[in-house]
Structure 1
Amino acid sequence: MKKLLFFGFLILGAASMQAQKAEFGLKGGLNYGATGDYESAQEGAEDFASNFEEGGKNKTGFHAGVFAQFEVLGIFLRPELLYTELNTEYSTFDYKVQKIDAPVLLGLNVLGPLNIKAGPSFQYVLNNEIENSPFSIGDVEDEISVGYQLGAGLDLGRLEFDVRYEGAFSENTAFGLNEMASENFTVDSRPSQWILSLSYSL
């Protein structure tokens, strides 16, 4: 977590020194997608792990946080720091993930209020758990993992509407345990999701 914050402050400092226009504000919105892609299962957990293999039902989560935007000649850098909750529904249980997201996007104003943006998204998992099941999920393999976001926004003065897709560059394995605390299966905690946001510049 300290590495994530340090990286964010470094980007903010470097960008603010070069920007012709700087904005800071609040943002929040909805996430729609699923997490918990199946990786492997050991003996005794195949039936339970098959729920992951069949795939989960996309559900709506939410995010809220802050952003900064630094613009030079129609090109902008937009770092964000967000709290995100995701909940994927499987046939007999739910898989919930709570995390801190830190996307760092490079964008371009293309036509009037319309812009496009893309870049890496850093993820720090605060908690991931299976609900309504004798199985549980342990810590993820990597404390911080990197995915990507790409999308478009509509800038209406202090307000901006934004839609993005988020995917992963690599897996971030979480280890499943039964009631006896023995390792039984592994899943990928990185989400694949659509993100709809409303931002307000202060």
Structure 2
Amino acid sequence: MKKLLVIAIVFISGTAMAQSSFGIKGGLNYGATGDYENYSQVADDVTTIENGKEKTGYHLGVFGKFEVVGIFIQPELVYTRLNTEYNTFDYKIDKIDAPLLVGLNVLGPLNIKAGPSFQYILNNDFENSALKVSKVDNEITLGYQLGAGLNLGRLGLDLRYEGAFKENNAFGEMASDNNFKIDSRPSQWILSLSYNLK
């Protein structure tokens, strides 16, 4: 009973000391989706495999931050446009990212952070191509983000890497009994500028 009382007091006092804030963020991302495969529906034989080439995209969103004694939790909700170049077309994804990061203030304004990142694709679009996506493996996928940031008053600067735990293929049909699939889960670098509203 005494231990429970001590834990409750520590939790309540920690919550009371917690600093909460929220803000807006935006910036650039540089990366690519995974392999594009063209294969025969009849023979079940892969005829083409292409690696995506990195291109620059952008992101805009909001974040919250809850900090206790130098350790913080930072949930975010971010709209992201990701661009990837293939040999004969460009592939564009509009998606909602929801990272949930745990961070640590390590030295002055410097912090490090990492955590899971959920992704929901709003739109798969191909430029200079008649390709269209008919279905995807999973509407919501899980990846990860890790990186470092600088807090300069109300301004913040972040550099992160986002990776995937597994592929999330988008499928479509082509002419002549051919199908295609493309891995829609990106690997990318994310550079963000944030402004703390509170």
Please confirm whether the aligned pair reaches a TM-score higher than 0.5, indicating the same fold.
Answer: yes
Quote the Cα distance in structure 2 between the aligned partners of 1:193 and 1:76: 24
Answer yes or no: is the 8 Å Cα contact 2:117–2:142 preserved in 1. Answer: yes
1:150 to 141, 146, 166: 146
Write the letter of the residue equivalent to 1:37: D
Answer yes or no: is the 8 Å Cα contact 2:41–2:178 preserved in 1. Answer: no
- Alignment-derived partner of residue 109 in structure 1: 105
Quote the Cα distance in structure 1 between the aligned partners of 2:187 and 2:160: 11
Shift in alpha-carbon separation, 1:109–1:140, aligned structure 2, 3 A: same
Structure 1 residues 149-196: Cα deviation after superposition (integer angstroms, max 9, x where no partner): 00000010100000000000111110022258x660222100000000
- Alignment-derived partner of residue 201 in structure 1: 196
- Alignment-derived partner of residue 22 in structure 2: 24
Answer yes or no: is the 8 Å Cα contact 2:32–2:82 preserved in 1. Answer: yes
CA RMSD between the two structures: 2.1
Structure with larger Rg? 2
Quote the Cα distance in structure 2 between the aligned partners of 1:59 and 1:183: 27
Judging by fraction of residues, say which structure has more helix.
1
TM-score, structure 1 length as denominator? 0.83
Shift in alpha-carbon separation, 1:117–1:188, aligned structure 2, 3 A: same
Matches within 5 A, 1:128-147: 128-147=124-143
Quote the Cα distance in structure 2 between the aligned partners of 1:118 and 1:151: 6
Quote the Cα distance in structure 2 between the aligned partners of 1:19 and 1:137: 49
Structure 2: stretches of 5+ with no match in the other structure: 1-14
2:169 to 170, 173, 182: 173
Q: Percent identity at matched positions?
A: 66
Decide which moves more: 130-139 or 89-98.
130-139
Quote the Cα distance in structure 1 between the aligned partners of 2:117 and 2:40: 32
Structure 1 residues 80-119: Cα deviation after superposition (integer angstroms, max 9, x where no partner): 0000001111111111110000000000000000000000
The SS at the match of 1:137 is coil
Answer yes or no: is the 8 Å Cα contact 1:103–1:149 preserved in 2. Answer: yes
Task: Tell me how many residue pairs correspond in the alignment.
Answer: 181
Runs of 4+ in structure 1 over 4 Å off = 43-47
- Alignment-derived partner of residue 42 in structure 1: 40
Shift in alpha-carbon separation, 1:147–1:91, aligned structure 2, 3 A: same
